[in-house]
Amino acid sequence: MSSNNGEDVEIEWVWDPDDLDATHDDDATAEATAAAGEDRFRVRAWHIVFLLVLVMATIGLAWWQWSRFQSGSGSFQNLGYAFQWPLFGVFFVYAYRMIVKYENKARAAKSQAADPDFVYQADTAELDDNGRPLVTEIDEDFLPSRPRLDVDEFNELNRQRRGPDSGPGHPEAPTTPRENS
């Protein structure tokens, strides 16, 4: 490459893995764990078969909704479902990949720890200092207060307003029994 004054300038590009986001760093940790021969989450054949069955079911449901949309009684709701079902299939694949990734990350962290009573760091956020689960509560000011009613007020608010069982003195209560016509 030449500059304005006629001198050749070499530009060297250096790849820095720290420039990548956390997902690539997690993948690198998982790859390092696999290279070291440590315990990894094993993808079983039945996992793949079950995942394929789920994806095929969502494709079948999408086809069914598409055929309903094309029929005479179809609506745009069927069209929306026809596009929605394949997204569920994509979600199943994504969720399985994330489960495998997070499980491998947890196993890698556990295998690299020297302490036999190691607790994965993401799990410690849900524990207090004594190792017990945190109790989360909603502040009382957050939700509106509920009205307090005594029994008589409650019964008056929920009294039947129409019909023969509405009580004596009610303007719409019948005074004579109905006759069969």
Out of 90-99, 112-121, 165-174, pick the least confident: 165-174
The 10s digit of each residue's pLDDT in 41-64 is: 888 899 999 999 999 999 999 999
- Residue pointed to by tokens 């590009």: 13
- Residue pointed to by tokens 């993948």: 27
Q: Please give the model's pTM, rounded to 2 decimal places.
A: 0.49
65 pLDDT higher than 90: yes
Contacts of 3 by beta carbon, 8 Å cutoff, 6+ apart: 9
More confident residue, 122 or 97: 97
The 10s digit of each residue's pLDDT in 134-155 is: 777 777 788 888 888 899 988 8
Q: How confident is the model at residue 17 (pLDDT cuts 50, 70, 90)?
A: very low
> What is the residue-wise DSSP string for 80-125?
HHHHHHHHHHHHHHHHHHHHHHHHHHHHHHHHH-S-TT---HHHHT
pLDDT above 70 as % of the chain: 61
